Amino acid sequence: MIKNISNLGDAALYCDFGNEVNKEINTNVINYFKNLKKSNITGVTNITPSYNKLVISFDLKITNYTKLKKKVENLELKKVIGLDKSLIKIPICCDKEFALDINRLEKILKLDGAKIYEKFFSKSYYCYMTGFVAGMPFLGDIDKSLYAKRLETPRIKVPKNSIGLTEQFCNIYTFESPGGWNIIGKTSVNIFDNTKKTPNLINPGDTVSFYQISKSDYEKNYE
């Protein structure tokens, strides 16, 4: 549940669910997020969930911090629809052309590439949030033996659809963008498509698994 609600600037509530990053806390965040969206509270302009926080922006001409805080505190939480979705399976090509940082990870983790991929592909991952760039999923929790810090010098351009690791998370770059995550491969599937009614393939609360494909299959299936 929410531990504290405070002001964030002049027109937003900052809902704090705690400092830890885990599935239980994040499920509470998503629960509030979905119930708040469904409630259509007058004056709310945007609701932004993260790992363990929720920001609720509002229009000062319509409501204010005190009124909105009271509504959030008295919100009747109903069962969340959409947290138990089917597993989303994402293909990855780990060819050297796409695995930009596998050699770096081998040195840092003291594991050979085959072992790194074995550990990575052996788990399913929970989507904590999307953000940074549109639709980018932040997926946890990777095997602790694969924890690695970001690159000391981030890349100016990370190729679209690259899969990266850092600390307890993996992600998928939905657009070419700057970034410092350790890149281990590339998917042939578009994770974000703003021409669709539901642009995100992966949303908070989803579970994701990855499977490896060859470069020829990647080239054949690239969307």
pLDDT tens digits, residue range 148-167?
999 999 999 999 999 999 99
pLDDT (average), residues 128-138: 88
**CB neighbours of 133 closer than 8 A, spacing ≥ 6?**
173, 174, 175, 177
Residue from 223, 1, 22, 40 nearest 126 by CA: 22
CA distance 138 to 147: 14
Task: pLDDT band for 143, please (50, 70, 90 cuts).
Answer: very high
Tell me the two tokens of residue 121.
Answer: 């592909």
pLDDT at 193 over 90: no
Query: What pLDDT was estimated at residue 163?
Result: 97
Query: What pLDDT was estimated at residue 186?
Result: 97
Task: pLDDT band for 172, please (50, 70, 90 cuts).
Answer: very high
Residue percentage of the chain with pLDDT more than 90: 65
Query: What pLDDT was estimated at residue 151?
Result: 95
Classify 37 as helix, strand or coil. Answer: helix
Q: Point out which residues pair with 44 in neighbouring strands.
A: 58
Average pLDDT of the chain is 90
pLDDT (average), residues 35-51: 89
| pLDDT tens-digit readout, 66-117 | 999 999 998 888 766 555 566 899 999 999 999 999 999 999 999 999 999 9
pLDDT at 179 over 90: yes
CA distance 154 to 193: 26
pLDDT at 59 over 90: yes
